[in-house]
Amino acid sequence: MYKKNQKRNIAVWQEFEDGVRKFINWAKNQHAHMNYDKIKCPCRKSKNRKFKTADKVMYDICMKGFVDGYYNWTAHGEAQVLENYDDQLAPICSEMPVAPDMRTQWGDLF
């Protein structure tokens, strides 16, 4: 039983580490959000307030984890995602012209 769980934990850890590498590679290409060759560190301690080398960010994230709630990488150049689509899109949708009911238009054909 222990070996089975150990293998699973290693696989989960490897998947996490691969995801962190992909994040760092993506962040290193967002030059407008860098300080020379350093990126903001989203670990629980730094909370995107400190610029660090990619290796140090990798270490910090793996040892301390990501800052809580950092799902949309705005500090690294990702666009802000709308939190509540319905409330924010309602004014836009109310101004759009309404298409005529197709059943009414096609009713004459059948």
How many structural domains comprise the chain? 1
Which residues, other chains included, contact 10 with Cβ-Cβ below 8 Å and sequence gap of 6+?
none
Could you tell me the residue range of the domain that residue 22 belongs to? 2-98
pLDDT per residue over 61-87, tens digit each?
989 988 888 777 777 777 776 565 555
| Domain presence at residue 108 | no
In-domain check, residue 105: no
Q: How far apart are CA 1 and CA 58, in angstroms?
A: 31
What confidence tens digit (pLDDT) does each residue in 6-25 have?
566 777 788 889 988 998 99
Model pTM greater than 0.75?
no
